[in-house]
């Protein structure tokens, strides 16, 4: 049986070990601030090339359920992109727009966090969670 591979094609390792290895390899990391519906703030370093959803799940941040694992098939990773970051994040693709029709409390800055790819340009990104993912 082959070992599981991570996003850079290397054997999978624990999150903390992956972060230090990526820093050594000069892989991009971005700080993302996740704000829960109740105002709790959680900051995480997220690997470039992964998604905002991955950053929440890997860092056990509450409020993003991601029932489909990031396949853009469930809309349980819904977030509101902070207004100052909407342009940097970009517009959703057609498939995401279709899935966003199923979220509660949809707003103009609603996005599925599984569809937001992390780059160094998103260092400092702020996303807010809705009251519920269901």
Please report the sign of the dihedral spanned by the C-alpha atoms of residue 78, residue 83, residue 86, residue 92: positive
pLDDT value of residue 106: 95
* Matching residue, tokens 């998604």: 51
CB 49 within 8 A of CB 70: no
* 40 CB-near residues (< 8 Å, 6+ apart): 62
Q: Which CATH number fits domain 15-128: 3.30.420.40, 3.40.30.10, 3.10.20.30, 3.40.50.720?
A: 3.10.20.30
Q: What is the pLDDT of residues 89-110, one digit of tens each?
A: 999 999 999 999 999 899 999 9
Q: What is the model's pTM?
A: 0.80
- Local structure of 114: helix, strand or coil: helix
Structure tokens at 36: 């829960």
* Matching residue, tokens 């809309």: 75
pLDDT value of residue 118: 95
CB 112 within 8 A of CB 100: yes
pLDDT value of residue 14: 54
pLDDT < 50 positions in the chain:
5
* Matching residue, tokens 């599984």: 114
Angle 114-120-126 from CA coordinates, rounded to 5°: 55
Domain ranges of the chain: 15-128
Q: What is the pLDDT of residues 46-57, one digit of tens each?
A: 999 999 999 999
* Matching residue, tokens 């970051």: 85
């Amino acid at each position: 049986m082959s070992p599981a591979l991570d996003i850079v094609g290397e054997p999978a390792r624990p999150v903390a070990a992956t972060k230090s290895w990526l820093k050594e390899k000069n892989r991009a990391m971005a700080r993302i601030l996740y704000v829960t519906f109740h105002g709790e703030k959680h900051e995480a370093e997220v690997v470039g090339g992964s998604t905002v959803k991955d950053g929440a799940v890997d860092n056990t941040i509450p409020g993003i359920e991601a029932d489909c694992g990031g396949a853009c098939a469930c809309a349980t990773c819904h977030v509101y992109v902070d207004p100052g970051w909407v342009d940097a994040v970009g517009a959703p693709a057609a498939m995401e727009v279709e899935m966003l029709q199923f979220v509660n409390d949809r707003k103009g800055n609603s996005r599925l966090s599984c569809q937001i790819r992390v780059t160094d340009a998103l260092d400092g990104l702020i996303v807010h969670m809705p009251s519920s993912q269901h």
